[in-house]
Structure 1
């Protein structure tokens, strides 16, 4: 079992994470609703315990969930049942073998919201996108999620600013080399943090028309807990603000997650 499977199968509650980080969840749902056509066939690669798969199934899409970790697939199956929705499939497998595992399948939209977090090698990150492209219909929508190289700095500011003396060099290093090796740095499993400025160039390698690159948490990331205590109307108004400025590159360094949204052109 690799470190990533160990982390999500045994060490971390991914289902609860998006309750704690509601800005990420709500802004991402807005993006999915805007860019995925009605009654689409959707493949959720790295779908974890099914938060977004269930959201899309509730809105009439035919959703197949795919994840590396056995526990995540089992949880997604149970969570879908609890939500009263049907997922077409819940499949365990590695994104690097996606086309072999799902031969002959095609999808109107593919979410790749997880794999880019955990592939340390450049060629594996390219291959993950190529695998998704191989199953995406012409004119289909690809949505890819990235963890920002600024995320470790933001986390340190929020949770343990007193540790900056010992962490300063490693935090700055992520901006040059986004690799986080769990064998030498604790706190997270193997991960890759993208410099936001590099996302457009990376995704330009593929036959995609870029529709949007956006900061997910945007300017709210450092005060998220405070915002979640506001009345719902005020919280939604802040989401409107964050969504409005999300595509401004000057905002991308402020957030922990970014979304790339593109359309397959060939």
Structure 2
């Protein structure tokens, strides 16, 4: 059976992952999470799709009880090594985000920088992640996650069609990767693994419109849903979502 693209990607991409530009905003992102928790260190946190544990470890260093969950044993191995180097105690467990074995155990669930959601091959699988995260939460509980912003590719399509001198080929070109009917982008991702070898995976990611996220979360019983613009390393409730944001930041309370 062919491996899912995200499984192959993270088999040998832990140290290189930690060097990527999009992973450098950890402290600012954790500042936001702390504000959402009102700095209450009694709150239990689950980090779903924790990867190499950058948010998990940073929050643990600040005194929070955090459990990190990931599908990749290689990523978790790196996370445990980092936690030991930082001299913090963190529980890292290997689980499928769609089938978490928790029920009403956590005050807050976080899924940041495409941590599991929305990397799945189908909408049903992505919904199972939200459903599983919700089940893991106490009531009241809070879910904080980022998602690819569906307004972003739509904005690019409209903008390219309005450029002076644009041909039909120019307008159609993005659709070779982005499917308007499914809101999915398919592309070949080239990266260097931890052994220094060039690798490729055929990525398949789902962009969500804000109204879709709202509907999904309401169907899971969330009463308060805020959807914000996401600037890596500088999450803020003051940042309104626009079509120019590549990702959106979602804060939902049940």
1:253 aligns with 2:243: yes
Cα deviation 1:44-87 (Å, max 9, x = unaligned): 01011111101211111111100011111111111112222210
Match of 1:215 in 2: 229
The alignment of Structure 1 onto Structure 2 pairs a total of residues equal to 225
RMSD value over aligned CA atoms? Answer: 3.2
Which residue number corresponds to residue 72 of structure 1? 75
Query: Structure 1, unaligned stretches of length 5 or more?
Result: 158-162, 222-235
Shift of the 189–169 alpha-carbon distance from structure 1 to 2, 3 Å rule, reads: closer
Matched, 1:169 2:175: yes
Measure how far apart 1:205 and its partner are: 1.2
Distance apart, 1:120 and its partner CA:
2.9
Q: 1:199 to 1:86 in 2, by over 3 A?
A: same
Aligned match of 2:192: none
Once the two structures are superposed, the pairs formed by residues 3-152 of structure 1 within 5 Å of their partners are 3-10=5-12, 13-17=16-20, 19-20=21-22, 22=24, 25=26, 28-37=29-38, 38-39=40-41, 40-87=43-90, 89-99=91-101, 102=102, 106-113=105-112, 114-149=115-150
Asked if the contact 2:210/2:227 (under 8 Å) is kept, the reply is: no
- List gaps (5 residues or longer) in structure 2: 160-168, 190-201
Q: CA deviation at 1:191?
A: 1.8
Residue 108 of structure 1: SS of its match in structure 2? strand
SS in 2 for 1:145: strand
CA contact (8 A) 1:147 1:194 kept: yes
Shift of 1:109: 0.9
Q: Could you say which structure has the higher helix fraction?
A: 1
Give yes or no for contact 1:49–1:73 (8 Å, CA) kept in 2: yes
| Residue 204 of structure 2 corresponds to residue 190 of structure 1 | yes
The answer to whether the 8 Å contact 2:60/2:88 transfers is: yes
Name whichever structure is richer in strand by fraction. Answer: 2
Q: Could you report, residue by residue, the CA deviation over 1:186-238 in whole angstroms, capped at 9, with x for unpaired residues?
A: 12633212233432222221111225211112xxx8xxxxxxxxxxxxxx9xx
Counterpart position of 1:204: 218
**TM-score, normalising length from structure 1?**
0.72
What SS does structure 2 have at the residue aligned with 1:115? coil
Structure 1 residue 131: deviation in Å? 1.0
1:236-251, aligned counterparts within 5 Å? 239=234, 243=236, 245-246=238-239, 248=240, 251=241
